[in-house]
Copies of this chain bind each other. A is one copy, B any other.
Amino acid sequence: MSGEPRIGIVGATGAVGTVTLGLLSQRGYTNVRAFASSRSAGGSVSFGDRELQVEEATPDALAAGELDIVLFSVGTAASRELVPHAVRGGAIAVDKSSAYRLEPGIPLVVPEVNGARALENDGIVANPNCCTIPLTCVLKPLHDVAGLVNVRVSTYQSVSGAGARRMDALRAEDPAEHNLAMDWTWEGDETDEESKLRAETRKIMELPELPLSATTVRVPVLVGHAEAVWIELEQPLSADEATAILRDAPSVSVVEVPTPKDAAQTDQVLVGRIRPDRASEHGLVLFLACDNLNKGAALNAIQIAELILERQRVPA
């Protein structure tokens, strides 16, 4: 590849697509095309100080060989249908749905944790769940020093994780109706969000047996996911040592009390409340918050794309 990379965004009118466009513009990309379903195609979306026409995401348009990277922010069924056409056209697809995350041979990447895996792709790289990304950013540096034995996590997930329409619904809702929800698909005694968090964390951290127990909960917050986390470690690690390790960790900021609002519209995983777990010998407790649309989705995918673009540029 030479010159400016040609980037396509599929799902450009959605909550994550909108954030993706904003981040690409900020980062100076100019050769960007917006795609959406036939329902949204024909309109336009903002891209920096100009407008992009929204093209229909047809198999032919994606396979035409005119794109280097395609960032998919659509549902799992749409990804399964469209991603192969982008790959056929010679692009690398970075897919934010759960369609390919657990497929053997397809890298599932958090650049700060297993970035090198992004280069081992056959055309598709999967972007993890919006809770898995911040969790692994925090777990990896602690694991490297003290060895993870197990993980327990309860989530506080904002409605933007369920899409732009759920955000509108919360904006219009009588506060007396605000509630917690577990609005996921059931898989036996867990939600699919809970089993994803375990399976994806295992794959990214290359710890295929890691015991991880999650309870995933939707809260009436617009943007920003938080997680209460307990870990048990092989080696003793004090709260001060863990804090020092996390202060040096990429994309992680240590704060007193991480909140979704402080994390919103930042690129960082906020982590705090780092303290010994009074219920175990080598245990720690912590709390984290992250913008689920940004580092939890759009930014992580762009970082993956940049790892690939950088490598492709070297031999040019």
List residues of chain A with CB under 8 Å of any chain B CB. 150-152, 154, 156, 170-171, 173, 175-182, 189-190, 198, 211-213, 215, 217, 219-222, 226, 228, 230, 232, 239, 257, 259-261, 273, 275-280, 283, 285, 287, 289
Contact present for A257 and B156 (CB under 8 Å): no
Q: Hey, which chain B residues are within 8 Å of A279, CB to CB?
A: 150-152, 211-213, 232
Contact present for A178 and B220 (CB under 8 Å): yes
Q: Hey, which chain B residues are within 8 Å of A152, CB to CB?
A: 152, 230, 277, 279
Contact present for B287 and A215 (CB under 8 Å): yes
How long is the Cα–Cα vector from A217 to B180 in the complex, in angstroms? 13
A and B contact pairs by CB, cutoff 8 A, 29 listed: A151-B279, A152-B152, A154-B154, A156-B219, A171-B175, A171-B176, A173-B175, A175-B220, A175-B222, A178-B222, A180-B226, A180-B259, A180-B260, A181-B259, A182-B273, A198-B278, A211-B278, A211-B280, A213-B277, A213-B278, A215-B228, A215-B273, A215-B287, A217-B226, A217-B228, A217-B287, A219-B220, A220-B220, A228-B228
Q: How far is the CB of A280 from chain B (nearest CB, A)?
A: 7
How long is the Cα–Cα vector from A211 to B211 in the complex, in angstroms? 21
A219-B219 contact, Cβ under 8 Å, with A239-B189, A278-B211, A279-B211? yes
Q: Hey, which chain B residues are within 8 Å of A220, CB to CB?
A: 175, 178, 219-221
Q: How far is the CB of A17 from chain B (nearest CB, A)?
A: 20
How long is the Cα–Cα vector from A176 to B158 in the complex, in angstroms? 11
A280-B150 contact, Cβ under 8 Å, with A213-B230, A215-B287, A285-B215? yes
Q: How far is the CB of A81 from chain B (nearest CB, A)?
A: 32
Q: Hey, which chain B residues are within 8 Å of A228, CB to CB?
A: 154, 215, 217, 228
